[in-house]
Chains A and B, each alone.
Chain A
Amino acid sequence: MGSPLSLKRSKQGDHYYFWVGVFFFIVIGVALSLYFSARQIDYTWRWYRLPKYFAYQEQVEIKAEIDGEAVSILKKSKIAVVQVKGLEGTESYTFPESALKIEEGDTIYYGDVLATYKKWRVGILLEGLWLTLKVSIIAIVFGILIGLFTGLARISSNPALKWSAITYIEIIRGSPLLVQIFIWYFVLGTLFNNILAKHGIVQIPPLWFGVAALACFTGAYVAEMVRAGIQSIHRGQTEAARSLGMTYVKSMRYVILPQALRRILPPLSGQFISLIKDSSLLGIIAIRELTKATREVVTTSLQPFELWFVCALLYLVLTFSLSMVLQYLERRQLAI
């Protein structure tokens, strides 16, 4: 199948390259004007400061916790195990062999450094990125489940199901996500955790209220897509399935939903990309996702320009990968 573009004249005139030039002129122009306006306020770009927010090396010191003597040092596949025997008993310390600072038979006092070595640590930005990814994936999974169920309830003839679905969808779609997050955290969260506290059960951390807010928000939109998708499948499909003796559930499961899901995949992927971006709002309830993490780094490093660009770029990496995955799924399904 040819794309709509192929309807155009195949021969590209001189104007084409002129406008390609204009495009690059605009891109470079924006970049340069940004650079020079930053110079105006004496902003110093320090890109080299950024890597440590992704990963850094931490100095680790292992100190003795008792007085005594290093009775034995066992070295095995680059790991050293030191036994310190004191009056109160024996303590054992494990660390990389190269970090060793003492020898067998040394007298050890409390607080002596037995070993020092450097260890790679995940930086705050990478942690934030991981949390954003985690929150988004969990919310997408639950969003699909909620949306599927609500979408089916929405077209049910049972008024309890149908009206519940409509009420839920309208409330969620008609109010801002930010307000919903506040309600989940400050209202529902307080209520839940109070009840849990009364029964002596562990509190639910804010993360889960954030995930719930995102999942319910996405679920309402997915529900409408599922409904539209199902209704777009020709009645004859249901009739054919039912005439073969399939129950409602079986005809949905084997005939209608596979076709409907295929149709709603493109709008669905848009919704999931929105969800990843909307997860940036979760910072306000103390979830240190990518945006919150960036904000924290900005306050300590005073490099807002670089950091916000990097933050945007990281979101772009997430959304772009997701859209690639979904496009692959779409193509694979259409290939039949």
Chain B
Amino acid sequence: MIDVKNISKTFISHSTEVKALVNVTAQIDPGEVVVVLGPSGSGKSTFIRCLNYLNVADEGSIIIDGIDILDPKTDINKVRAEVGMVFQSFNLFPHKTVLENVTLAPIVVRKNPKEEALKKGMALLEKVGIQEKANVYPDQLSGGQQQRVAIARALAMEPKIMLFDEPTSALDPEMVGEVLDVMKKLAREGMTMVVVTHEMGFAREVADRVIFMDEGAIVEVGTPEHFFKNPTHDRTKLFLSQIL
């Protein structure tokens, strides 16, 4: 489903180079839930953002569902329509109601008829448990509710893959659960998911595989049991000892 080969990414800020990704290779199969862990600044977010071209990898290749997204001839908008993304800061459209947030892309990108989009939008809002807020504006929602709307918005495009970039990091602790519940439901339905998170519980419970990154490189890949119980690398052990 996702085939990443030897990608590297260097940011240049104030004439100093920051190596965000160094020679990263990873494969993600259909229906798999992969959780990306690592300390801050380890390149997890850059990695996931490279997957839908919000950051452009300097070298290497990224094949999404058979399409090489780094190929200049690829219509990236078509690929992005198949890859949903959920952001740390929700990024809901503040000038649109909750339902409009969900139906906008299906209407203007997929060109779905309005009635159909509205019906599907309501069904999705029901799925994330927020249908009663369909006609309010995002600033009237709590963080957890906003993030659930953001998930519904991404799902409205009927994506084949969902990317989650620290979806619970900006939430008050008591709201983390409701968002994770939606994500768990999605995982059970067989959605291919890549999740950058600090929620170890979620990784342990839901992930098929865990990728551990540090300093722009993948240090260790394995099942949650392997990762949490018998990590091989010292860097992984150090990380786990710091957070657990």
Chain A residues in the interface with B (C-beta under 8 A): 234, 236-237, 239-247, 250, 254-255, 258-259, 262, 336
Contact = CB atoms under 8 A, between A and B. Distances in A.
A244 B152 CA distance: 12
Given A236-B87, A242-B77, A255-B93, 13 more contacts: A240-B91, A240-B150, A240-B153, A241-B93, A242-B54, A242-B80, A243-B52, A243-B80, A245-B77, A245-B78, A245-B157, A247-B77, A336-B137
B141 interface: no
B60 interface: no
B105 interface: yes
A119 B78 CA distance: 68
Pick the 10 closest A-B CB pairs, nearest first. Answer: A245-B81, A240-B91, A244-B105, A236-B91, A243-B85, A245-B80, A245-B109, A245-B77, A258-B95, A259-B95
A254 B91 contact: no
A34 B105 CA distance: 64
B95 A262 contact: yes
A244 B91 contact: no
A241 B80 CA distance: 10
B196 interface: no
Contacts of A242: 54, 77, 80
Interface string B129-165: 0000000010000000000001001100100000000
A262 B94 CA distance: 12
B238 interface: no
Nearest to A262: B95
B195 interface: no
A255 B92 CA distance: 10
* Residue of B78, B80, B92, B157 ringed by the most chain A CB atoms within 10 A: B80
Contacts of B93: 237, 240-241, 255, 259
Contact of A246 (B52, B77, B94, B137): B77
B69 interface: no
B108 interface: yes
B108 A254 contact: yes
19 contacts: A239-B54, A239-B85, A239-B87, A239-B91, A240-B153, A242-B77, A243-B52, A243-B54, A243-B84, A244-B80, A244-B105, A244-B109, A244-B153, A245-B78, A245-B81, A246-B109, A258-B95, A259-B94, A259-B95
B104 A254 contact: yes
Interface size class of B (residues with CB under 8 A): 20 to 34
Interface string B149-192: 01001100100000000000000000000000000000000000
Contact of A250 (B84, B95, B109, B150): B109
Interface on chain A toward B: helix, strand, loop, or mixed SS? helix
Interface in B54-111: 54, 77-78, 80-85, 87, 89, 91-95, 104-105, 108-109
Nearest to A243: B85
Contact of B154 (A244, A254, A255): A244
A336 B154 CA distance: 24
A116 B93 CA distance: 68
* Residue of B83, B108, B109 ringed by the most chain A CB atoms within 10 A: B108
A332 B96 CA distance: 14
Contacts of B94: 259
A240 B85 CA distance: 8
A241 B101 CA distance: 10
A255 B52 CA distance: 19
A259 B108 CA distance: 18
Contacts of B137: 336
Nearest to B49: A239
A336 B153 CA distance: 20
A336 B95 contact: yes
Contacts of A262: 95
Contacts of A243: 52, 54, 80, 83-85, 154
A239 B83 CA distance: 13
A246 B91 contact: no
Given A236-B89, A239-B87, A245 B95 contact: no
B87 A246 contact: no
B204 to A, nearest CB: 28
A241 B54 CA distance: 11
A308 B95 CA distance: 45
Contacts of B78: 245
Nearest to A261: B95
Contacts of B87: 236, 239-240
Interface string B191-203: 0000000000000
Nearest to B88: A236
A288 B153 CA distance: 56
